[in-house]
């Protein structure tokens, strides 16, 4: 307190000049900093632009370049190639390959994931937000569950992949495998399958998976791929192959040890087995583990946004806690919950690492037909193409990415629309 | 009549009580499911890791001491070497590059968004960052492989006269992971900056501070706990990132910090084993669980620490 007054308020002229100069410097520096900040912020826009441009150029450029003729013909060839890409299975030659099975794989896996994660996640969120206990030790459990969910959201998805592989695919290395399940349900029939001289599948029903090979007899009843009964024409080795197409289709050559045989399992659409193996169900449940914390956290936020006054009004009119949730809180927070869910699903669509652990690097030619079918998903197909050493497959990967991004855009746009349209102002 | 409706009401009440009880139980079960997931993760990872270490040819000292990682060489356990450091090193190189890019850029972008950006610019920039955050990681991996690596080589040629980056390198993977982390850091930091009350800024302006001084001496220090926790969460995310490194960083476990060389990260190794055709019961398969346990311990610790810092050091206004 012994500072002389003039040193605080009265400055000499030189000191005042110095201060004003430094103030101008400070102002100038500040303006420069703001400019610097805006340039850095613009960087992320530039990165996004470069990323999108690079992928679109690579994913459409080769299709455009390969088309010929007039402009109109080139445009129609361009869309023809795209529809071929969307409707064909992956093939060894890049120009014939498509993304069809992995698109359906994505739909199946995400349906399983959403159907399990949505109820489970919303129920957990309701418990955490609406049923906060009053006892001290229960409150501690409550806080522990909350902290645990925060931590689960930070676990890398590849770790969930390993967990899913252990729990769902091999079921803790249970003795069975996908070929020899411990338990199965929903088999229409088991057949021995032969390829006839007319390139048709001929099937003979057998009793079980490990039944002995069928002894083929000339004239016995066999079934074709459509289930139509035929009379088998078994000819010895060296005998002339019949010219008649109808006869050729049901002709097998009886080589030593019997014609080449494979066992065909006709599975119903509801077929399930234990262990699940590298199946759609295992993949979907694993993805469920990945997105569950995201679903819970976003649903919690949506529920928390419902004003307390609404709950108190309902309680005051004699509602039980569950009635408050069912009649007031849930209806009011449904738009928020749906938005969060759609965003979680778009995360699931783009997730490749856990599916890579579950499905492996496989070559899938058709869309899955039941929950136990092997599958692949779009990000995994893109990964396979991108890690191929041939450049043509990189182009295919870029095309696949365009399809993937379009689907994600559709999901995110619908999330935004739901948010805009159904969000009521409750405050 | 009155007594009948009354008894109906009472029955309804008790029925309702039963319903409440069941529903509460169901909700409790689904909340317990998330605890069960954590328990299962820990039991599986560390249980299998213990089985890995129980093998006679594997020692703890080798796993954490040796610098040679050759689990797929040869057929016997003796010909393989399990020293986890090359994988940890690969992960750290990618992490350092990614965070070195994403942290400064992310913080500066967040300062711009929360302090300076006009509303129109913000309305443009925020969705762009959200799109960046929503792009699947396999896309970034593809971008790193087919765009960033050639560009890095172009720059390298400009300075050194020759292409120096291998087809698979940690530099491009690190940059791509950095791009992935940028929106995460930006949005978490911006939340922290926005939570600083207006009165603090106004007080500083009132004392004659410039916009730069208000941002760096008042707002950022006040939001420091949020920024540190954002950085920790981003590091955890980087360590666990899989598809980018699987595509762009290569699969050679190198003990190198040169960003031009290929490395294998912990996640990259897990993908290689799971995607490859190694036997499901071999020692290299079990080593995947040991690596996953190390990875899990690292990310779990970082997430926990980030959470703790955010809660404990939060400046309450």
Report the pLDDT value the prediction gives residue B7, as an integer from 0 to 100: 53
Report the pLDDT value the prediction gives residue A118, as an integer from 0 to 100: 94
User: Cβ–Cβ of B243/A166 closer than 8 Å?
Assistant: no
User: Cβ–Cβ of B132/A44 closer than 8 Å?
Assistant: yes
Cβ of residue B290 closer than 8 Å to a chain A Cβ: no
- Residues, chain B: 317
Report the pLDDT value the prediction gives residue A49, as an integer from 0 to 100: 94
Which DSSP state fits A226?
Answer: T
Q: Could you tell me the sign of the dihedral formed by the alpha carbons of A14, A16, A20, A23, in that order? A: positive
Report the pLDDT value the prediction gives residue A11, as an integer from 0 to 100: 58
Cβ of residue B243 closer than 8 Å to a chain A Cβ: yes
Report the pLDDT value the prediction gives residue A1, as an integer from 0 to 100: 45
Mean pLDDT of chain B: 87
CA distances from A82 to A290, A396, B227 (A): 32, 11, 45
ipTM: 0.90
Chain B interface disruption, residue of A352, A358, A360, A399, most B CBs within 10 A: A352
Which chain B residue shows the shortest CA-CA distance from A380? Answer: B138
Which chain B residue shows the shortest CA-CA distance from A346? Answer: B134
Boundaries of every domain in chain B: 2-54, 81-312
Nearest Cα neighbor of A225 from A248, A254, A185, A196 is A196
With beta carbons less than 8 A apart as the criterion, state whether A230 and A224 touch: yes
Q: Which domains does chain A have, with CATH numbers?
A: 88-174+276-422 (1.10.3720.10), 183-273 (no CATH)
Q: Which homologous superfamily is B81-312 in? A: MetI-like (1.10.3720.10)
With beta carbons less than 8 A apart as the criterion, state whether A253 and A194 touch: no
Q: Enumerate residue ranges in chain A where pLDDT < 50.
A: 1, 5-6, 8
Cβ of residue B117 closer than 8 Å to a chain A Cβ: yes
Residues of B in contact with A127 (CB under 8 A): 27-28, 30-31
Scored b (16 or more CB within 10 A) or e, A69-107 reads eeeeeeeebeeebbeebeeebbeeebeebbbbbbbbbbb
Per-residue model confidence as pLDDT tens for chain B (317 residues) = 445 555 555 557 777 788 888 998 899 899 899 999 999 999 999 998 998 888 877 777 788 877 788 777 766 666 677 888 899 999 999 999 999 999 999 999 999 999 999 999 988 898 889 889 889 999 999 999 999 999 999 999 989 888 888 889 999 999 999 999 999 999 999 999 999 999 999 999 999 899 999 999 999 999 999 999 999 999 999 999 999 999 998 888 888 888 888 899 999 999 888 876 555 567 888 888 999 999 999 999 999 898 888 888 776 66
């Amino acid at each position: 307190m012994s500072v002389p007054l003039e040193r605080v308020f009265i400055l000499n002229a030189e000191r005042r000049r110095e201060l004003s100069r430094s103030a101008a410097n400070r102002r100038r520096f500040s303006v420069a900093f703001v400019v610097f900040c805006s340039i850095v912020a613009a960087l992320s826009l530039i990165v996004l632009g470069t990323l999108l441009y690079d992928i679109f150029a690579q994913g459409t450029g080769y299709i455009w370049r390969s088309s010929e003729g007039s402009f109109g013909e080139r445009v129609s060839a361009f869309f023809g190639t795209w529809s071929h890409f969307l409707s064909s299975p992956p093939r060894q030659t890049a120009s014939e390959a498509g993304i069809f099975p992995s698109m359906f794989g994505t739909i199946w896996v995400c349906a399983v994931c959403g159907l399990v994660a949505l109820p489970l996640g919303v129920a957990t969120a309701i418990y955490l937000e609406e049923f906060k206990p009053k006892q001290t030790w229960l409150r501690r459990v409550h806080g522990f569950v909350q902290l645990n969910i925060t931590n689960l959201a930070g676990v890398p998805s590849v770790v969930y992949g390993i967990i899913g592989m252990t729990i769902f695919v091999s079921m803790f290395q249970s003795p069975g495998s996908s070929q020899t399940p411990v338990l199965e349900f929903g088999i229409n029939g088991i057949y021995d399958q032969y390829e006839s001289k007319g390139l048709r599948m001929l099937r003979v029903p057998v009793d079980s998976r490990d039944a002995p090979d069928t002894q083929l007899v000339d004239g016995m009843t066999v079934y074709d791929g459509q289930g139509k009964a035929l009379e088998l024409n078994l000819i010895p080795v060296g005998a002339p192959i019949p010219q008649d197409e109808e006869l050729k289709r049901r002709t097998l050559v009886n080589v030593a040890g019997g014609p080449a045989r494979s066992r065909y399992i006709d599975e119903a659409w509801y077929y399930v087995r234990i262990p699940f193996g590298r199946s759609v169900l295992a993949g979907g449940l694993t993805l469920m583990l990945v997105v569950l914390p995201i679903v819970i956290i976003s649903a919690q936020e949506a529920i928390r946004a419902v004003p307390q006054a609404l709950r108190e009004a309902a309680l005051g009119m004699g509602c039980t806690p569950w009635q408050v949730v069912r009649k007031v809180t849930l209806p009011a927070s449904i738009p928020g919950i749906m938005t969060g869910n759609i965003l979680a699903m778009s995360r699931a669509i783009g997730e490749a690492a856990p599916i890579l652990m579950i499905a492996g690097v496989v070559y899938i030619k058709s869309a899955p037909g039941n929950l136990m079918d092997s599958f692949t998903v779009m990000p995994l197909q893109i990964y396979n193409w991108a890690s191929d050493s041939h450049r043509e497959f990189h182009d295919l990967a870029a095309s696949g990415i365009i399809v993937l991004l379009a689907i994600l855009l559709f999901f995110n746009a619908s999330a935004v629309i739901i948010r805009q349209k159904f969000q009521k102002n409750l405050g | 009549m009155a007594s009948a409706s009354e008894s109906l009401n009472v029955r309804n009440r008790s029925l309702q009580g039963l319903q409440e009880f069941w529903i509460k139980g169901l909700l409790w079960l689904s909340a317990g499911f998330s605890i069960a997931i954590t328990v299962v993760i820990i039991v599986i990872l560390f249980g299998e890791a213990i089985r890995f270490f129980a093998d006679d040819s594997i020692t703890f000292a080798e796993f954490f001491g040796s610098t040679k990682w050759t689990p797929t060489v040869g057929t016997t356990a003796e010909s393989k070497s399990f020293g986890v450091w090359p994988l940890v090193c690969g992960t750290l190189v990618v992490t350092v590059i990614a965070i070195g890019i994403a942290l400064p850029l992310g913080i500066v972008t967040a300062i711009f968004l929360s302090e300076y950006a006009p509303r129109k610019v913000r309305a443009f920039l925020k969705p762009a960052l959200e799109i960046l955050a929503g792009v699947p990681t396999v896309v970034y991996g593809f971008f790193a492989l087919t765009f960033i690596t050639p560009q890095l080589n172009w720059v390298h040629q400009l300075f050194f006269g020759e292409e120096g980056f291998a087809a698979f390198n940690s530099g491009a993977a690190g940059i791509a992971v950095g791009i992935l982390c940028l929106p995460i850091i930006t949005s978490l930091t911006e939340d922290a900056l926005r939570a600083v009350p207006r009165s603090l800024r106004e007080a500083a302006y009132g004392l004659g501070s410039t916009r730069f001084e208000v941002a760096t001496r008042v707002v950022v220090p006040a939001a420091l706990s949020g920024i540190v926790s954002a950085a920790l969460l981003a590091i955890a995310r980087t360590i666990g990132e899989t598809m980018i490194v699987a595509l762009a960083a290569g699969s050679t476990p190198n003990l190198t910090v040169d960003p031009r060389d290929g490395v294998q990260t912990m996640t990259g190794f897990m993908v290689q084993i799971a995607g490859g055709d190694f036997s499901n019961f071999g020692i290299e398969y079990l080593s995947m669980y040991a690596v996953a346990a190390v990875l899990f311990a690292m990310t779990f610790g970082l997430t926990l620490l980030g959470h703790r810092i955010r809660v404990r050091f939060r400046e309450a206004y």
